[in-house]
Every structure is written in structure tokens, then in C-alpha cells.
Homo-oligomer: A and B are copies of this chain.
């Protein structure tokens, strides 16, 4: 529990020798642990196995009589729309049930904006001289990849404990009509785990925006993914936008990828009726409709929002010990040493750790050499460049508990080693 910042070079050298020995022992064990991605583990997926039997040779009709084995239903079967409208906190005419990937729906929304514009009356982004997007960071790498892929300039905005830096955002969007949107993961934000405060939601809904075709891309990926018994509350942004007279400002997404099966879940898009109608007019050229049998499977299995919430408590029982293990290991290795800070999320899939400036890349490399794969440093920032080279995203959901304990111990060792190198006067 010694503050590294106040140790002498000699004391640091002594500690470093011990750390090197521990590191070498780790490396000699030739372990291979992957802490890179926010994937559910097998035990979580087991929880939904009953779903695979819920649609069978008899149960394939929707409640309105639709044969879910046949074509049709661009925006989903009625019971899926009802259940997931409740899930998203919107009306049944404010949701589109898609295929299995919400990322796919977000990507496609970008593609439609590029080619056709965000509304019938706005210029396609491809035909505008410059398109920019606000990216609260650290954030979700796959969001940023879409912007980079499409040549959309990303503007990094800080993210605080209560959400993105609203002073900065309000200033930017009020004055630059090439800023077309902002990426948000409002609850258990990837990777920091913070939940947007009510005030932040209200300011996003009410702020003065110069671009007519500005949209908040609200990826509520972890809406029910609480680890604690008392769920974190997130203010309904669609209601806030309506109240502010900006009903069309927000587009929302969600999915059951981390509720039922990742890749075989149900994805959804929600927003004002006008936004949904605009999307559907274009989606009608893309598809005749999504997989309705999979929708039926989900509704038959979960039945109600209470069913989803009960199910998520079982997920929490599996995930909580893993998240606790991360905290314990990090506290054991790094507590009081004043060389790193990390989040203590109440839900979601990640722990976000900040090293001293200029250390994250070296830590990730060092851990990799000893067999622990972490998300590449920089991934949580636009263009994969963390300006302070300090953020590391830890994804504890997939590996078994004992692997997490090992991996985090090693990460703790690596952070200390790299920090000491940083603190020692250059030779």
C-alpha cells in the first residue's frame, strides 16, 4: 500500500526486481487467457437454452395468426413489438424489431444517411462537404469503426461520471452544422460503466443544435444488465426529447444479445413514429422481413418484462463474482499505489482502467507476452488513438473466475512494472 510516486529510485528498483520475478514465473506457465471482448460465457448462454425448444412443430403462429415460417412483417410480430416496446420504454408504433444484431441496424442507419439523408428533406451525408460525429471517449470501438469506415470525422469528447461533457457538446453542436450526431451508450457505458444522469439526458434533449439532420445514436445495450439488486435508473430520452419539442432527435437501439444468445438474439431500433416510418420506407427495399420464428422464440421464453428481469438476475449471479474478482485483484495489486484508477461498475460488461499517462500500450504488450490478451490499447478512442495512452478495457464476462483472477494479477504486475519504468529517472 505504498504510494509509488513518493518512493526513491532505489526503492522502486527493489520492488521492480520482485515484480520481474513474479512476471517471469507467470510467463513460464505458458497460460493463454483472453480478456478482450464482452462476450457472455457458456453458463450465461445455458440460461436461455429452454428457448430453443419454445418454437416447435406446433408453435409457429403469432398471436395475430401470422405464420412465422413465411414471408412478411417488416417491423416484427405484434407480441415481440409489445414486449420490446416495454423494454425500450417506447410505444408499439415507435419500434422496429430487426434481425439479430443492433450493430447491424446502426450501421444500416448510417448507410441510409450517407446515401439518402436522415430525413426526406435533408441532403445525403455523402453529398455534404464534411460530416462529423461526437464520440464520448473512452467508448465502444465498433461505434468508432463505423465512422472511420465511412470517412466521418470523429471529435473526441470526454466522458465523466455522469455522462459526456455537456458543456463541451452544447458548445460544439450549437455552432457547427457539419456535426451530425453523437454516439451514446447511456447505461453502463462501454467501457466506463457510468450511467447518464437525468440532467445529462435532459441537456441532450434540449440543447440547441445547428445541424437540421443531427441525431443522438442511443445504443442502450445494457438496459437491464445490472449487477446489483437495485437497478440503476436511466431517464427515458425519447420522452425527454418529446417534451423538449425535439421528438425526432434520438434514435435508440437495443438487443437481447447479452440476454438470450449473442448473435442469435433479437435486435431493435426505436424512436419517434416519424423516424420509424422513415426507416421502414427505406428498409422495405432491403428486406421482406426479419426472422419471425426467432422473435416468437424470445417472446414465448421471456413472456414479459418481469420475465426478462428475472432472467437477468440469473446473469448477474454469474457475472457479479467475476466483476468482484477484478476489483479484488486490482485492489490487491494496485491499491494505494497511486499509479492507476479503475471503474467499479454497477452493471454492464466492462471495467475501465486508467494507468499513468503513456503506460497503457506498454502494459497491454507486456501482459500479452505472458499470455494474457487484453483489448488493444487505444481501441476505446476514435482512430484507435488514446491521446494519453492510459485506458485499458477489461472484459471479465467470458473467462472462468480462476482465469480472471490470474489474468488480473498479471495485469496488476504489468501496470506496476511499467509505472516504475515511467517513474524512474531515465538513464
How many copies of this chain sit in the oligomeric assembly?
A: 2
- Given A115-B114, A145-B285, A286-B107: A100 and B263 within 8 A (CB)? no
Say which residue of B56, B70, B71, B291 sits within 8 Å of A291 (CB atoms).
Answer: B291
Instruction: Encode A34-75 as 1/0 by CB contact (under 8 A) with B.
Output: 000101101001001110110111001000000111111100
Q: Interface readout for A327-368 with B: 1 if CB under 8 Å, 0 if not? A: 000000000000000000000000000000000000000000
Interface string of A105-129 (1 = CB under 8 A from B): 0011001001100000000101100
Decide: A52 and B60 in contact? CB cutoff 8 A: yes
Could you say which residues of chain B place their CB within 8 Å of the CB of A325? none
Q: Is A101 an interface residue (CB 8 A)?
A: yes
Closest to A58 in B: B49
Among candidates B37, B72, B145, residue contacting A71 with C-beta atoms closer than 8 Å = B37
Among candidates B127, B145, B285, B290, residue contacting A107 with C-beta atoms closer than 8 Å:
B285
Interface presence of A262 (CB below 8 A) = yes
Q: How far is the CA of A165 from the CA of B104 in the complex (A)?
A: 38
What number of A residues sit within 8 Å (CB to CB) of B?
55
Say how far A279's CB is from chain B's closest CB, in angstroms: 14
Q: Are B100 and A291 in contact (CB under 8 A)?
A: yes
Chain B residue at minimal CB-CB distance from A127? B126
Residue of B with least CB distance to A126 = B126
Q: Pick the contact of A257: B55, B71, B126 (CB < 8 A).
A: B71
Asked if B291 contacts A99 (CB within 8 A), the reply is yes
Q: Which residues of B contact A53 (CB under 8 A)?
A: 53, 56-57
Q: Which residue of B lies closest to A125 (CB)?
A: B115
A6 contacts across to B, CB distance below 8 A:
none
Extra contacts besides A107-B286, A263-B291, A291-B294 (15): CB < 8 Å: A40-B70, A42-B67, A50-B57, A52-B55, A68-B263, A69-B262, A70-B262, A71-B257, A100-B290, A100-B291, A114-B115, A115-B126, A126-B126, A149-B285, A263-B292
